Amino acid sequence: VTRLVVGPFNRVEGDLEVTLDIADGVVQAAYANSPLFRGFEQILQGKDPLDALVFVPRVCGICSVSQSCAAAAALADANGVVLPPNGQLATALILANENLADHLSHFYLFFMPDFAREAYCGRPWFEHALRRFEAMQGEAAREVLPARAAFLELMGFLAGKWPHTLAIQPGGSSRPVTASEKIRVYALLRQFRGFLESVLFGDSLEAVAALDSEAALRAWRDARPVQAGDFRFFLHVAEDLALERLGRATDVFLSYGNYALPEGKLFGAGVWDGAVHPLQPDAIAEDLSHAWMAGEPAVQRPQEGMTLPDMDKPGAYSWCKAPRWNGRVCETGALARQVVHGHPLVRALVAEQGGNVCNRVIARLLELALVVPEMEKWVQALRIGEPFCSHAPMPPQARGVGLVESARGALGHWLDVHGGRIRNYQIVAPTTWNFSPRDRDGVPGALEQALVGAPVGDGEETPLAVQHIVRSFDPCMVCTVH
Amino acid sequence: MNLVWLQSGGCGGCTMSLLCSEARDLFGLLDDAGIRVQWHPSLSEHTAQEALRVLEDCASGAMPLDLLCVEGALLRGPNGTGRFHMLSGTGKPMIEWVCGLAARSRYTLAIGSCAAYGGITAAGVNPTSACGLQYDGDARGGLLGSSYRSDAGLSVINVAGCPTHPGWITDTLLALSLGSLTEADLDPVGRPRFYADQLVHHGCPRNEYYEFKASAEKPSDQGCMMENMGCKGTQAHADCNTRLWNGAGSCVRGGYACISCTEPGFEDPGHPFASTPKIAGIPIGLPSDMPKAWFVALAALSKSATPRRVRENATADHTVVAPALRKTRLK
């Protein structure tokens, strides 16, 4: 067995180190290390509860709004404020704006550039991949960045700026929208739809959203030329490289459900392992056994969780704690969200092949097709002149939980207010789930499992299969440890 | 010019902000300025060994390093070891990498308030002993020390902001590529004067409410946020309301207070961010350069002169009293 330490692992958010044990040309065991600790949970102690709205978005520059939404939800849970419909719609629009922009960044800037690597130069699709996706040089980035920036102008109207807005409040949004702004935001969304339909999909969003089986996806792919839309091109690359056989993890999928609207959440919550189970937030606990964290007991529910760094702890190898649901390792993200919610295509793909590199990417792009039309409806549903924000005082003693979905999956905040100040604040982020270390039973986290069996070619310093698998999770390491 | 970008004790948000650049083609803009991004953790193809070869070549001098951009605070803990951030794959603390590269760079840039002063990562009990490249809060020093100069003879250029504005980064890089940024173009805390010699207050859309001291009382109110909501726009140095964010925004345009995120120490204001500290009903933090007695006198006068329209709209979330319709041919 040879050991390979891979880092700095880039085109992920934040710093990541992966240690691989390799024998017979495949990965035998993997260890994920989040090497950066900042201590947000300690920084927050003793602060005014509303100050959380300043600090937590700054946990992460790419999941900034998701962090705001989780904090606002935890604060609202603590003080019982009820959002007006405009407040729910505005919050959903801001959150969807971030999540979809992140999906786009992931596909074009983080994930696809690996197919433009020289190692693939013999493949029939290579020249197109190089021209289109080469990191910082490809033509796609030069189309995508302006389209993404234009899409994020929604933030300029609804949130002041991105990242790090303070517009998202426990009672809704601090930013009422005027009649003309409503029209301009709608126009932005239509412009973004146009970009997706011409560049990414080569088809209408509705046609992509309606795909309901592997056969339908294959037929859709083959109905037009290979290069008609970047999604179609990806499907061809994925088939050639058998990406559906790479990166299978636990096939237990967790989602908190997302986009809280007057009529309920757009995507439902739960855990899927072949069937959907209710979420039961109390079933979530974090295992500290392999994290550089002191504290007893070694398995803690977040509401009683502690963050006490201890870098000399024997057996530990990451700053990341190991969250478990009823003791089980879960995968979270767009694939989890859609399999839990029950999108027919994603259910069919997972039933056939489980979670893997290809299906994670498909689920992300599918969400672009699913959510943009919803955003168009949400903007239209804003009622000009009616309230965007409700108000309620924070009681001196209170507890609250905020559960939302960021682009990369389930994000939870647990808040404990005592004497009018934050006594404890615990954050469990999506990549804390996906890139967790082993637990006290020695069970590896989702990525660590997904890497086992990955092929390693002769002389590969940083195996490409490993890179595809890691990036398929769209990891956010700054959120992971915070 | 070769550019290397490192991220440490921060959130990556300044990179995300940069990608919101309104330049039609950000990468083309950099190319055109002759800036070659040799490594960026979010954007480059190179990973692991490939990336380390770039960093090692820059540290050894084998590759000229013109622009060292550091995002995120520098973590000196625990106990001065820097182990709260070991650059992955190297077993070496990030602060050692940064010191080594800064010794070789022609220009050294702190991207965002964390890298400049410590920022949010240094808040509260500062669990990681975070500081900036050349400042620890408002005290000169930081990781590199107060006497540090890059090869070109400049102090660290503090492109402060939380996040920083994409235009502040691109304008700074372009000015450097044109050779038109000198020590004299930096303000007393190292920020480029092109954006730091202005106040967030300039161009504030709530200016009429400010003039009449017609104040907001709760989130989503339209009034001035200085009296009650913690807004520091009349003191904070930045051009947020003339340059704008994401096409149309700024903090005050988003309905919330300026928290002075471009200033050293903004992370620990000594009061809850969303409320204004006062003595005898008068905000402690008065507008920059304004004598207190005059402010108090003018505030009292303007409050008594506030039109009903301004007073009522200030505590509403939409216009409840429209401006009066005058006869035509306004004089």
pLDDT, tens digit, for every residue of A392-422?
A: 999 999 999 999 999 999 999 999 999 999 9
pLDDT, tens digit, for every residue of B68-118?
A: 999 999 999 999 999 999 999 999 999 999 999 999 999 999 999 999 999
d(C-alpha B202, C-alpha B239), whole Å = 7
By Cβ distance, the residue of A5, A60, A162 closest to B12 is A60
- pLDDT > 90: percent of chain A: 98
| Closest residue in B to A43 (Cα–Cα) | B124
pLDDT, tens digit, for every residue of A9-37?
A: 999 999 999 999 999 999 999 999 999 99
* Burial classification of residue B135, based on how many CB atoms lie within 10 Å of its CB (0-12 exposed, 13-18 middle, 19 or more buried): buried
Q: What is the mean pLDDT of residues B203-211?
A: 97
Q: What is the mean pLDDT of residues A302-321?
A: 95
**The tokens 């096409």 sit on which residue?**
B247
Residue A425: predicted pLDDT: 98
Whether B162 and A58 lie within 8 Å, measured CB to CB: yes
The alpha-carbon gap from A369 to the nearest alpha carbon of chain B, in Å, equals 22
CB B156 within 8 A of CB B10: no
Residues 6 or more apart in contact with residue A42 via CB below 8 angstroms? A307, B124, B125, B127
Which long-range contacts link A212-215 to residues 24+ away (Cβ below 8 Å)? Answer: A212/A344, A212/A345, A212/A348, A213/A344, A213/A345, A213/A348, A214/A345, A214/A348, A214/A349, A214/A352
When scoring B3, B11, B49 by the number of chain A Cβ atoms within 10 A, the one with the most, hence best to mutate, is B11
| Touching A: B residues 142-171, CB under 8 Å | 162-163
For A157-179, give the DSSP string: HHTSSSSS---EETTEES----H
Element (H, E) at A43: helix A40-43
| Closest residue in B to A36 (Cα–Cα) | B85
Asked which of A371-375, B25-29, B85-89, B197-201 is least confident by mean pLDDT, the reply is: B25-29
pTM of the model: 0.98
Residue B288: predicted pLDDT: 85
CB A33 within 8 A of CB A318: yes
The alpha-carbon gap from A214 to the nearest alpha carbon of chain B, in Å, equals 32
HSE-CB for B276 with a 13 A CA cutoff:
27
d(C-alpha B171, C-alpha B150), whole Å = 19
The two structure tokens encoding residue A150: 């234009």
Whether A116 and B274 lie within 8 Å, measured CB to CB: no
Whether A146 and B259 lie within 8 Å, measured CB to CB: no
pLDDT, tens digit, for every residue of A41-53?
A: 999 999 999 999 9
Whether A9 and B48 lie within 8 Å, measured CB to CB: yes
The alpha-carbon gap from B100 to the nearest alpha carbon of chain A, in Å, equals 17
By Cβ distance, the residue of B47, B88, B259 closest to A11 is B47
When scoring B246, B252, B320 by the number of chain A Cβ atoms within 10 A, the one with the most, hence best to mutate, is B246
Q: Which chain B residues have a beta carbon less than 8 Å from that of A37? A: 75, 84-85, 128
Query: Which residue from A210, A191, A117 is spatially nearest to A150, judged by alpha carbons?
Result: A191
pLDDT confidence band for B53 (50 / 70 / 90): very high
CB A306 within 8 A of CB A300: yes
Q: How many helices, marked H, and strands, marked E, lie in chain B?
A: 11, 13
CB A320 within 8 A of CB A32: yes
Residues 6 or more apart in contact with residue B293 via CB below 8 angstroms? none
Residue B281: predicted pLDDT: 87
3-class secondary structure, A410: strand
Whether B254 and A61 lie within 8 Å, measured CB to CB: no
The amino acid present at A472, given as its one-letter code, is S
| Touching B: A residues 126-165, CB under 8 Å | 134-137, 141-142, 145-146, 148-150, 152-165
Q: What is the mean pLDDT of residues A94-113?
A: 98
In eight-state DSSP terms, residue B271 is S
CB A71 within 8 A of CB A426: no
**The tokens 């302006």 sit on which residue?**
A146
By Cβ distance, the residue of A13, A155, A167 closest to B42 is A13
Q: What is the mean pLDDT of residues B128-134?
A: 98
pLDDT, tens digit, for every residue of A238-265?
A: 999 999 999 999 999 999 999 999 999 9
Q: Which chain A residues have a beta carbon less than 8 Å from that of B47? A: 6, 8-11, 462, 467
Q: What is the mean pLDDT of residues A118-143?
A: 97
d(C-alpha B75, C-alpha B86), whole Å = 10
Q: What is the mean pLDDT of residues A272-288?
A: 97
| Closest residue in B to A389 (Cα–Cα) | B220
When scoring A5, A9, A11, A36 by the number of chain B Cβ atoms within 10 A, the one with the most, hence best to mutate, is A36
d(C-alpha A202, C-alpha B90), whole Å = 43
d(C-alpha A121, C-alpha A112), whole Å = 15
Does the beta carbon of A21 lie under 8 angstroms from any beta carbon of chain B?
no
